[in-house]
Amino acid sequence: MEIPFNKPYISGDEINFIKNCFESSRIAGDGSFTKKCHLFFEAEQKFNKVLLTPSCTDALEMSSILCDIRPGDHVIAPSYTFVSSVNPFVMRGADISFIDSEASNPNIDASKIEALICDRTKVIIVVHYAGISCDMDAILALADKYNLFVVEDAAQAIDSFYKGKRLGTLGHFATFSFHETKNIISGEGGMLVINKDEYVDRAEIIREKGTNRAAFFRGLVDKYGWVDIGSSFLPSDITAAILYAQISNINRIQGKRKLLWRKYFYELSDLVLQGYFQIPEIPEYATNNAHMFSIIVANTSERSALIEHLAKHEIQAVFHYQSLHRSSFFEGKHDGRELKYADIYSNQLLRLPMYYEMTEDMIEIVASTIKKFYLNQMNQKNIRE
């Protein structure tokens, strides 16, 4: 049985909603389905103000403008993340200092942040890796102490919480992804969350190419024009129609994914207890939205061998981010600090297949195949000895 790493889930309503878009003769941005998605996130999920965007990267670009990043400003971010977390800030001239991950999971180590704050520091970017919350109390305390912006890169963190507070509601701004690999998808797509009312008007202007077009359509101005910098950050209403079909089924999707995650954990716990690999820890303050299931193996060679072994059994597993401080673009700009755990996750973390249409039987197949790999490894070791 072939088991891919990911398979986009279609709820069944997407085609009907797309058809409704065409029948309404409105398929450009901010149509009826965009408004329905905004209402869902604001009224049902209690976000302050949301704006759909074509991608999470676009939402992060809007965040960098809203934070008024200028050349020479300083931004602190985790090294173990996707380049989109920091690229928008680099594009506006910021200098980046990367922070190591925690020993127990890939999130930013909040205890390492304060030592790097200087008089040029403007933003702390936090990435809730795998939908697991960072230590937000510690991070928000630093932001208050030094008057810094906090941007939550919550690309993977839909429907996840920190001490009962929804991720994406804690920083000044937050960004989400609806890429086809995420829990809730629209193919491509993203969302900006604005948690401070004083930035809402400017966010709408930036999203509308630097014009006050949104205010015009609400009747607040008699004409609209160019009033600020911005770009075209509106997704098609077709994208929003796909997203609305997904969020209409969010409880069912999340329930199934959590069931699959628990099945993985149950099937692989024995190998963890025997010391073959680790599973990233979920802190007590965080919830698990079952975005992914990953393991941390002994070294890069073992990971490559395990990927090859799984592939021979038609199971696709993948490694994830490479430490940004070691990237060819940034390597010469890094200050030389060792970021031990970011490198460990870069070299040793392996993501297993995880998608809605997986079954518990399929997870048993993946787990059994992994067990056979380590049994063979153990047998070979005994032979050598």
Q: What is the pTM assigned to this prediction? A: 0.96
Output the domain CATH number for residue 328.
3.90.1150.10
Q: Is 144 in the same domain as 105?
A: yes
Instruction: Tell which of 190, 212, 247 closes a domain.
Output: 247
The β-bridge partners of 315 are 3
Same domain, 233 and 313: no
If asked whether residues 110 and 235 sit together in one domain, one would say yes
Please classify residue 329 by burial: count the beta carbons closer than 10 Å to its beta carbon, then call 0-12 exposed, 13-18 middle and 19+ buried: exposed
Query: Last residue of a domain, which of 186, 214, 247?
Result: 247
Q: Where are the beta strands (DSSP E) in the chain?
A: 49-53, 74-78, 95-99, 121-127, 149-153, 161-162, 165-166, 173-177, 190-194, 293-296, 318-319, 349-352
Co-location of 172 and 221 in the same domain: yes
Gyration radius of the chain's alpha carbons: 22
Judgement on whether residues 242 and 262 belong to the same structural domain of the protein:
no
Find the largest Cα–Cα distance for the chain: 84
CATH label of the domain that carries residue 19: 3.40.640.10
Q: Does one domain contain both 197 and 287?
A: no
Residue 67 lies in a domain: yes
**Res. 382: pLDDT tops 60:** no
Query: How much of the chain exceeds pLDDT 90, in percent?
Result: 92
pLDDT of residue 215: 78
Same domain assignment for residues 198 and 269: no
Q: How far apart are the C-alpha atoms of 60 and 114, rounded to whole Å?
A: 23
Residue 5: inside a domain? no
* pLDDT band at 380; cut points 50, 70, 90: low
Q: Are residues 239 and 259 in the same domain?
A: no
Residue 6 lies in a domain: no
Q: Is residue 2 part of a domain?
A: no
Last residue of a domain, one of 219, 247, 275: 247
C-alpha distances (whole Å) from 101 to each of 77, 138, 160, 323 are: 10, 15, 20, 10
Q: What are phi and psi of 56, to 5 degrees?
A: -65, -35
Asked if 298 and 209 sit in the same domain, the reply is no
Comparison of pLDDT for 181 and 24, the residue scoring more: 181
Task: Determine the number of helices (DSSP H) and then strands (DSSP E) in the chain.
Answer: 12, 12
Asked if pLDDT for residue 385 goes beyond 60, the answer is no
Do 234 and 257 fall within a single domain?
Answer: no
> Residues 164-217: pLDDT tens digits?
999 999 999 999 999 999 999 999 999 999 999 999 999 999 999 999 988 777
Are 240 and 256 contained in the same domain?
no
- pLDDT for the residue 222: 77
Domain that holds residue 304: 251-384
Whether 189 maps to a domain, the answer reads yes
Residue 384: what pLDDT?
A: 46
Report the pLDDT averaged over residues 360-364: 98
**In angstroms, rounded to a whole number, what is the distance separating the alpha carbons of residues 198 and 204?**
12
Helix axes 14-23, 237-247, angle to 10 degrees: 140
Amino acid letter at 78?
Answer: P
Q: Is residue 1 part of a domain?
A: no
**8 falls within a domain:** no
DSSP labels, 184-244: S--SS-EEEEE-SGGGHHHHHHHHBTTB-HHHHHTTSSSS--B-S---B-PPPHHHHHHHH
Q: Are 111 and 158 in contact (CB under 8 A)?
A: no
Rounded to the nearest 10 degrees, what angle do helices 237-247 and 250-273 cross at?
70
Our count of domains for the chain comes to 2
At 115-156, the pLDDT tens digits run 999 999 999 999 999 999 999 999 999 999 999 999 999 999
pLDDT tens digits, residue range 39-90? Answer: 999 999 999 999 999 999 999 999 999 999 999 999 999 999 999 999 999 9
The answer to the question of residue 30 being in a domain is: yes
141/24 same-domain check: yes
Helix axes 300-312, 360-384, angle to 10 degrees: 120
